[in-house]
């Protein structure tokens, strides 16, 4: 059970998240956040020294958790490739449980410490795809191809996150895309192993 201080901090964070989601980091107003949370600006500054600290307080724990999950799931998929679709569904469940946070950090964080996080997410996706393909091909995959595949995958994730889908529908879509992706991945790896000319 939370005490009064923890309740106040949580109320500020939830209200701030709504404000960041509606207006983005740059246009979000601390005065409006305090007003909507029912706290004074002095109380807010007691817990968070500025807007950046408040933003970081909301997003940093989730970013750390997301990146840890990504590493763990990548290791599991390398060991057992057939788990790929199931792991995609688990990862998307985590993201969908933090849907607003995902939209803010990927599309509305300009001006904050996370303004480049979309690029980082693409790099993490590239790294994951590159490592998987390399393990299956036993040679270096084409980096240009990996970059495009990562972008397609991230755009697909964003489409589901931003769509007006229920959790059940979203996870259904992720599962079906994963099945489609696995078939395409196997075929592409087979094609890349064959000598070819352009």
Query: Are 28 and 110 part of one and the same domain?
Result: no
| Percent of the chain residues past pLDDT 90, beyond the cut | 65
C-alpha 2, offset from chain centre: 28
Q: Could you tell me if residue 198 is inside a domain?
A: no
* Res 59: pLDDT: 97
- What does the pLDDT look like over 159-173, one tens digit per residue? 999 998 999 999 999
SS3 category, 164: coil
Q: Could you tell me if residue 184 is inside a domain?
A: yes
- What does the pLDDT look like over 119-130, one tens digit per residue? 999 999 899 888
Q: How many structural domains are present in the chain?
A: 2
Query: Are 75 and 143 part of one and the same domain?
Result: yes
Query: Are 35 and 92 part of one and the same domain?
Result: no
Q: pTM, whole model, 2 decimals?
A: 0.85
Query: Are 45 and 65 part of one and the same domain?
Result: no
Q: Find the domain containing 12 and state its range.
A: 1-49
What confidence category does residue 195 fall into, taking pLDDT thresholds of 50, 70 and 90? low
Burial 99-116 (b: 16+ CB within 10 A, else e): bbbbbbbbebbeebebee
- What does the pLDDT look like over 142-162, one tens digit per residue? 899 999 989 998 899 999 999
Query: Are 72 and 155 part of one and the same domain?
Result: yes
Q: Could you tell me if residue 90 is inside a domain?
A: yes
Query: Are 138 and 176 part of one and the same domain?
Result: yes
């Amino acid at each position: 059970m939370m005490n009064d201080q923890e309740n106040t901090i949580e109320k500020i964070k939830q209200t701030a998240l709504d404000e960041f989601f509606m207006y983005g980091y740059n246009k979000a107003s601390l005065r409006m956040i305090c007003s909507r949370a029912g706290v004074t600006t002095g109380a807010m500054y007691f817990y968070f020294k500025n807007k950046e600290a408040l933003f970081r307080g909301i997003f940093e724990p989730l970013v750390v958790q997301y990146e840890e999950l990504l590493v763990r799931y990548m290791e599991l998929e390398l060991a057992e490739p057939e788990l790929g679709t199931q792991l995609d569904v688990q990862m998307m469940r985590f993201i969908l449980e933090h849907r607003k946070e995902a939209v803010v950090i990927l599309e509305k964080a300009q001006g904050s410490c996370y303004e480049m996080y979309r690029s980082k997410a693409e790099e993490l996706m590239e790294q994951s795809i590159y490592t998987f393909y390399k393990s299956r091909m036993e040679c270096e995959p084409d980096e240009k191809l990996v970059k495009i595949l990562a972008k397609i995958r991230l755009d697909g994730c964003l489409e589901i996150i931003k769509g007006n889908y229920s959790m059940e529908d979203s996870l259904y879509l992720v599962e079906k895309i994963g099945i489609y992706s696995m078939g395409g991945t196997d075929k592409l790896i087979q094609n890349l192993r064959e000598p070819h000319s352009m």
